[in-house]
């Protein structure tokens, strides 16, 4: 009878231990995922801001000027949309809500805007930069999108100031071309 009691106690203590471990993991894993996604969003903002700064630097230095930039996309997609003169960084299914849901806000100290939308238990985050004083091109074409998906490797881009294109009659806008190397 004594041996049976010891086995019952062992099983009960083991079950109690497993329940406690499960409770700790149920709380810890979402917190860890949120911190991981927070870091990814911060790195994505920094990458977008660096790309924006290179574009503005080339724009200000005049025609023929070019700069190389290396960008890492850890999660989501970097989209260069020359048709809309904008660059977007989309991060889907993030555990971290950067801003108030459904509201686009400016990121202080940058030219970037960020919008968070809710998607089930997660959030979709879009970091965007719209250009109004220049004509953005991708790989030499004006109506083209360049999409860069998540990768452990760096993407190398060349940003080049092509000057004004008087043949199109849009001499007010300076063409900035982004090439993938």
d(CA 47, CA 103): 22
d(CA 81, CA 144): 6
Render 44-102 in DSSP notation, one character per residue. HHHHHHHHHHHHHHHHHH-TT-EEEEEE---SSEEEEETTTTEEEEEEEEES---SSBT
Task: Tell which residue, 85, 114, 82, 121, has the closest CA to residue 99.
Answer: 114
Residue range 138-174, pLDDT digits in tens:
988 777 889 999 999 999 999 999 888 766 555 577 8
First to last CA, the chain: 77
Residue range 14-36, pLDDT digits in tens:
999 999 999 999 889 999 999 99
pTM over 0.85? The answer is no
HSE toward the beta carbon, residue 17, CA cutoff 13 A:
6
pLDDT of residue 119: 87
Angstrom CA distances, 46 to 6, 39, 83, 107, 166, stand at: 59, 11, 24, 11, 35
Evaluated on CA atoms 143, 76, 127, 101, the torsion sign reads positive
């Amino acid at each position: 009878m004594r041996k049976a009691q010891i086995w019952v106690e062992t099983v009960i203590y083991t079950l109690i231990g497993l329940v406690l471990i499960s409770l700790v993991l149920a709380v810890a894993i979402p917190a860890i995922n949120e911190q991981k996604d927070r870091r990814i969003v911060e790195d994505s903002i920094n990458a977008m801001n660096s790309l924006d700064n290179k574009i503005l630097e080339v724009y200000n230095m005049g025609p023929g000027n070019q700069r190389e930039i290396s960008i890492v996309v850890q999660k989501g997609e970097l989209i260069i949309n020359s048709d809309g003169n904008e660059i977007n960084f989309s991060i889907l299914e993030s555990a971290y809500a950067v801003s108030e849901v459904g509201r686009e806000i400016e990121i202080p100290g940058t030219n970037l805007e960020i919008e968070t939308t809710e998607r089930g238990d997660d959030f979709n985050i879009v970091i965007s930069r719209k250009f109004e004083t220049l004509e953005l091109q991708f790989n030499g074409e004006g109506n083209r999108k360049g999409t860069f998906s998540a990768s452990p490797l760096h993407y190398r881009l060349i940003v080049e100031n092509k000057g004004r294109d008087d043949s199109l009659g849009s001499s007010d806008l300076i063409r900035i071309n982004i090439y993938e190397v």
